[in-house]
Amino acid sequence: MMQDANACALHAKRQTLMAKDIHLVLKLRPLVTSANRIDEVCSKEVAQEQSNQDCEDDLNDNDYQEEEESEESDDEDEEED
């Protein structure tokens, strides 16, 4: 655990361990097992966040397409009149 806390401190460009380093390790500890290294867990979390962002972008794109289609149908209705 102390090695992980030291890695957190070094990542923050500090040589001194602080309480927040220990808190971060304790927070991430349930995610990290002997089979997983901390960098693997972090990369999975980042990938998951990116996939969530992609899903949100896709939903927003569909809303935009629906608006375009409704505008086109409104234009066609006006031309018929």
AA letter at 52: N
With beta carbons less than 8 A apart as the criterion, state whether 50 and 39 touch.
no
End-to-end CA distance of the chain: 75
Secondary structure element (H or E) that encloses residue 40, with its range: helix 38-80
pLDDT at 57: 58
pLDDT at 22: 80
AA letter at 5: A
Strand segments (E) across the chain: none
pTM here is 0.36
pLDDT along the chain (81 residues), means of 10: 81 85 80 61 71 64 54 52 50
Q: What's the rounded Cα separation, in Å, for the pair 54 and 58?
A: 6
pLDDT at 76: 52
pLDDT at 61: 56
pLDDT at 48: 76
